Amino acid sequence: MTKKEIARLVYNNTQLNLADSQEAVQATFESIIKLLVKFDRVELRGFGVFQIQKRAARKARNPRTGEEVWVDEHETVVFKPSKLMKTEIQSKRARAAKKVKKAAPVKKVATKKAAAKAAPVAAPKKPGRPAAKLAAKPVAKTPGRVGRPPKSAVVAKPAASKKVSKPVVAKKATKVAPTAARVKTTKKRGR
C-alpha cells in the first residue's frame, strides 16, 4: 500500500476532499519523523511504538562477494506493533487459513449415480515402480450381469504418463472426499 492509497482511504472515510486528505497523510508522516528525531520514541496507542535503537559495530559479509566488511555503530528505527494490532492481524490470518484448509482437501462429488459412473482416481506413482503395477486388475463378470462388473467392484484404469484422472463433478454436490464417496455409494447400492 502506498501513501497515495492511504490518502484515498482517508478521503473515502472522512469529509475531506482528496487534496486535503493527501496533505493530512503527509503531515502525519512528517510529524512522526520530527518527533522521532527529537524524542527517540513515538507511541501511538492502539497502533504501536516507533523507536530509535542503536546497533553495535560488527563484522558483516558482503552477499555478492562473500568478503567480510566492517559495519560501524549506527542508529535505526524499529516499530513494535500494539497488542490490539497483533491480535487483529493474527485473527484475520487464522480465519483465512481455516477457509483455505476447509476448501482445499474437500472435493465435491455429485450424486450416487455420478459417483458410480466416475472412474476412480489412479494411485499416485511411487518411485521405482512401473505404472502397470499400480493399476487395479479387472474384476471377473458376475453371471447375472453380463458385460458389466458388479456394483461393489472398483476398477481402475491404467495410469497415463504423468496424468491422473479426476472424478466427475456435477452441479449439485455434497462435500465428501472422492474415495469416501465411492465406498459409501458402492456399499449402499450393493444390497
Distance CA 25, CA 160 (A): 59
| Closest among 77, 17, 90, 15 to 50, alpha carbons compared | 77
List the CATH code of the domain at 3-85. Answer: 4.10.520.10
Amino acid letter, residue 184: K
Burial class (CB in 10 A: 0-12, 13-18, 19+), 118: buried
**Domain parsing of the chain, residue ranges:** 3-85, 102-137+150-191
CB 123 within 8 A of CB 134: yes
**What's the pLDDT tens digit per position in 108-127?**
555 555 555 555 555 555 55
pLDDT, residue 191, reads 47
* Helix, strand, coil in percent for the chain, rounding step 5: 40, 20, 40
pLDDT, residue 98, reads 83
- Cell digits for 136? 487395479
Amino acid letter, residue 2: T
Distance CA 59, CA 70 (A): 5
CB atoms within 10 A of CB 184: 14
* Residue 170: band (very low, low, confident or very high) from pLDDT cuts 50, 70, 90: low
**What's the pLDDT tens digit per position in 59-102?**
999 999 999 999 999 999 999 999 999 999 999 998 888 887 77
Report helix, strand or coil for 180: helix
CB atoms within 10 A of CB 21: 20
